[in-house]
A and B are shown apart, each in its own frame.
Chain A
Amino acid sequence: MIPLEAVEDPQKLIEAYYDAGWTDGLPVVPPTDASVEAMLAAGGFRGDEVIGEIAGRNQVVVADKVAINAVMAGCKPEYLPVVVAALKGLCHPDFAYHGPASSTGGSAMVLIVNGPIVRALGVNSGNNAFGQGHRPNATIGRAVRLVMMNAMNTRPGFLDRATLGNPGKYAFCFAEHEDDHPWEPLHVSRGLRAEDSAVTVYASNSLYQVYNQLAAAPEPLLRCFADALSNLGVPNMKGFNQSLLVLAGEHTEIMRTSGWSRRRVQEFLIEHTRRTVADFKRAARLPGEVEPADATTWRRLFERPEDILIVCAGGRAGSWSACLPGWGNKWTRAITTVIAGGPEMAPRPPVARAAPAKP
């Protein structure tokens, strides 16, 4: 804590945080002793408790700094377990934080919340799931980014070298819509129990929406996803990224009534998300002159079903879904972490999973 002469005007206090370089560009909520203590108490943390470590940066993430940043972001105390679980995911060795955090690719850290805590906290999974207007979504995502900036040495222009960045770097948190889901929810597909609450962290390049109002079956709809994921500028072609698909609205219903399994959807996308070597060479994504055989030589963008993450979110109306290509080929993997100590849940040791326990 930095002692400061008495500041009576809240606006001056907010400006002081700007002047110190501690904000994301938006005004922060100035912490107090009471608000920081309440934040720590809600998570059951001691101030000096180590949440995680980024070994390559010699950076240790400690609970009191997480609590301060969470207050600044506007979190309610009961949100802290979600913030902490997300940070544990970022610190997992398989997430390989340094790459996605510092890359010119400028990935957003997408947080997908599952389980009973979604309802308990009111994390939005419905209309405008990626958009504004819901405090848990906005402030949990923002808290994670503030911790990254302030306590994980990830400042723009220094160890955050994003060429453009993307708006999701302010905050990108949503819940999966688990009702009327075509399949098991994401965290269950990754080996956890339905009654667990969990957050999945995923390094994503910018999202784009996929529109199709005529498709009434999975095949034509999934061809749109395959096409979107294999555009010539996509980073995936450098070698088997993960990618995230968010099924929304009427597209979710098409999948639910079709009887297709999650695995069948993933396998269809592996088969159809491809471009010819000739396409890539003409776009200078591969070196060399186009040879006759290149027109019939295909390059697939996915190799493992589990690398295509599929979640359901968004409003029920509308023919929109979304693709979120992953950052970096095999250089980072989504991590799903159990949220310990959230409301209406017994405390339990956190469990992090880098890969699904079953297909």
Chain B
Amino acid sequence: MKLFDPTSKPVERAVEIAPRPASLKGLRLGLVDNTKFNSDTLLHKLAARLATRHGITVALTSRKRSPSHEIDEAAVKTLRAQADLVVSGIGD
């Protein structure tokens, strides 16, 4: 007799990490608002603090369709083109 494994693991995919900037000074910031409640408030307070401390500018804010949905490819393309640094990931 034998056991049948009912599980499957996530598919491993190589992800290329963007090089870390040596300094935040003057960088263009992109915000990804996942639309959780108050996420926009928190992200913009964070952006204001980064602007004060490091002189970053908010280049764009991208709002996801919902927290459940992935960010769409068009938004990723725009972020790549217009931002040097992206902040995302807000919980409740």
A contact residues vs B (CB 8 Å cutoff): 1-4, 6-8, 13, 16-17, 20, 22, 30-31, 36, 55-62, 65, 68-69, 71-72, 93, 96-100, 104, 146, 150-151, 153, 238, 328, 330-332
Contacts and interface: CB of A to CB of B under 8 A. Distances in A.
B7 A96 contact: no
Chain B, interface residues (CB within 8 Å), range: 20 to 34
B5 A60 contact: no
Contacts of A150: 6-8
Contacts of A30: 1, 3-4
Interface of B: 1-13, 37, 66-70, 92
Given A96-B68, A100-B68, A2 B3 contact: yes
Given A56-B70, A69-B6, A332-B68, A13 B1 contact: yes
A122 B12 CA distance: 41
A58 B10 contact: yes
A328 B69 CA distance: 12
A238 B4 CA distance: 44
Nearest to A155: B7
Tell me the interface secondary structure of chain B in the complex: loop
A168 B37 CA distance: 27
A142 to B, nearest CB: 12
A211 B67 CA distance: 35
B46 to A, nearest CB: 21
Contacts of B7: 22, 65, 150-151
Given A65-B6, A72-B6, A150-B7, A99 B67 contact: yes
Contacts of B70: 55-56
